Chains A and B, each alone.
Chain A
Amino acid sequence: MSDSLAIIRDLHFSWGGGREIFSGVSLDIPKGKVTAIMGPSGTGKTTLLRMIGGQLKPTSGSVNVQGLEIPSLNRKDLYQARRRMGMLFQSGALLTDLSVFENIAFPIREHYKFSESMIRDIVLLKLELVGLRGARDLMPSELSGGMARRVALARAIVLDPTLMMYDEPFTGLDPVTLGTIVSLIKTLNSSLGMTSVVVSHDIHETFSIADYVCILSEGKVAAAGSPEELMSSESEFVQQFVHGKPDGPMPFHYPAESLESDILRGDI
């Protein structure tokens, strides 16, 4: 498909030869759209983002972003490719010894020799976009969780990436900040023409902005389609996931022997 920004084919991965996280994931990320990667905790959603960013190498399979085969790039080309990617970390991951302004200026200062006034203009424009122009002189320790994430968002988009990745952007936010982040992702995607990948397990927020949703489970793509298609899907698994039913094909209990025999054993 020529309108895909990233193409992932038959991806396998396991941590140090242990439990297999991915056993054959294939997925297309369409250009200019918001793609959501969803799934229960521990299915490797964040791991998938790290592979797209080249921070982890798959055991086998292909990760192709903008025509570049990420796992086989050398160090220099990988760093070059990353300049066109942005990533919002769950914790924000701001550099704690730099102010808000300097955090956002950091990628520009590292990669380009721009004049100070030009850096100032770019940083202030990005801060305006996330509504924190007035907070430019604060240190990361003085920011609330929601503000930190907005600053991290401004920093991630400061080099105008073509591919923007969000790792759990909705977790742990108050309702107002949550609404701001949701609309920011949508706006950034439409106004700056970015391709966005959102990793999340918040059904409501994710379905409201995603054009395409892909649900991972047990190392495979369990379901994929538009939010409407998934809502009306007949698959039991998808129904359980999107409606948050406690038990179903995805078991509530971690595998164990029966409760009765487990309790009786303690009496011996």
Chain B
Amino acid sequence: MVFFANSLQGIGAFVLNSLASLGRASLFLSQVLLGIKDVLLRPQLLIKELYSVGVLSLLIIVFSAIFVGMVLSLLGYVTLVDFGAESSLGVLVSLSLIRELGPVLSALLFSGRAGSALTAEIGLMKATEQLASMEMMAVDPIRRIVTPRFLAGFISLPLLTIIFMALGIYAGYLVGSVWLGVDEGSYWSLMQNKVEFWHDVVNGVIKSVVFGFVVTWVAVYQGYSAIPTSEGVSRATTNSVVYSALAVLGLDFILTAMMFIN
């Protein structure tokens, strides 16, 4: 009985704590969004962050896209060829990448490359009192530091995802047609017939917009609320990657169910 009461109390405390931190994260988000006007008035702040968050993530996105596209094409060919359906390889590769793998893998890679860096940077600025000193210089650290980074992540991820999709499809073509000999015309023309712009491409990009929002929100919030010690910053960085990965995968299921169930 005591055990039952204790575990009930534990569950209650967990739920209350989770709700409280969700509330804090939402209040934080509203302050971040209020700063957008200031950032748009000073675009050079945003451009600097777009470079470090977006451009510097290009390498990992490009390489992953090429390898994912090649593997997908190879495995798809091995399966399809048994049924004599290898001409549909282009459809298989492109739909997988556009609907699912492009948005999800880009978001996961992005949270590992850029999200963790944002968390560590903001957390360390807090630990070394840089954020507090900005407050005392009458500069709001949320508007000056957090909002530009948030916007940069939100803008970068959909663009990186589009690059991921395109490169993956092209790498699939190289393996499927150039190497394994699937007819080039059927690879591209069946893809053109089957992939719809609004239903597939736009929905895939919408997914990545949602992921970009969530991943950067988690990253900047974890950094800003980190305990200002070396241990606290390291835990916040870990949390940032773990929570964004879980959020991306969970949201992906919901979005897929909403978008692609006929």
Contacts and interface: CB of A to CB of B under 8 A. Distances in A.
B75 to A, nearest CB: 45
B128 interface: yes
A107 B132 contact: no
Interface stretch (B20-28, B138-146, B152-160, B253-261): B138-146
Nearest to A86: B136
A155 B139 CA distance: 13
B2 interface: no
A102 to B, nearest CB: 13
Contacts of B129: 89-91, 93
Contact of A89 (B133, B138, B140): B133
Contacts of B137: 82, 106-107, 110, 155, 159
Contacts of A199: none
A79 B137 CA distance: 8
Given A91-B128, A96-B128, A82 B133 contact: no
A101 B234 CA distance: 31
Contacts of A79: 138, 140
Nearest to A55: B135
A116 B136 CA distance: 24
Given A87-B133, A93-B133, A110-B144, A82 B138 contact: yes
A151 to B, nearest CB: 12
Contacts of B135: 53, 55, 82
A149 to B, nearest CB: 12
A110 B130 CA distance: 15
Contacts of A95: 130, 133-134
A126 to B, nearest CB: 14
Interface in A20-79: 53, 55, 75, 79
Interface in A88-113: 89-91, 93-96, 106-107, 110-111
Given A91-B128, A93-B128, A96-B128, A110 B133 contact: no
Contacts of A96: 128, 130
A82 B135 CA distance: 8
B132 A89 contact: yes
Contact of B136 (A82, A91, A111): A82
Interface in A179-203: none
A90 B138 CA distance: 18
Nearest to B138: A82
Interface residues of A, number: 25
Nearest to B145: A95
B136 A55 contact: yes
B44 to A, nearest CB: 11
A212 B135 CA distance: 28
A1 to B, nearest CB: 26
A159 B134 CA distance: 13
B131 to A, nearest CB: 9
A235 interface: no
A85 B135 CA distance: 11
A245 interface: no
Contacts of A120: none
B138 A111 contact: yes
A86 B144 CA distance: 19
A233 interface: no
A240 interface: no
B224 to A, nearest CB: 15
A110 B136 contact: no
Contacts of B134: 95
A82 B138 CA distance: 5
A53 B136 contact: yes
Contacts of B144: 110
Nearest to A158: B137
Contacts of A155: 137
A100 B140 CA distance: 21
A53 B134 CA distance: 12
A53 B132 CA distance: 10
A95 B141 CA distance: 12
Interface string A218-244: 000000000000000000000000000
Contacts of A111: 138-139
A14 interface: no
Contacts of A82: 135-138
A106 B136 CA distance: 12
Interface of A: 53, 55, 75, 79-80, 82-83, 85-87, 89-91, 93-96, 106-107, 110-111, 152, 155-156, 159
Minimum-distance CB pairs A-B, first 7 = A93-B133, A93-B129, A82-B138, A87-B136, A107-B137, A83-B138, A79-B138
Interface of B: 128-130, 132-140, 144
Given A94-B130, A96-B130, 6 more contacts: A80-B138, A83-B138, A91-B129, A93-B133, A110-B137, A110-B138
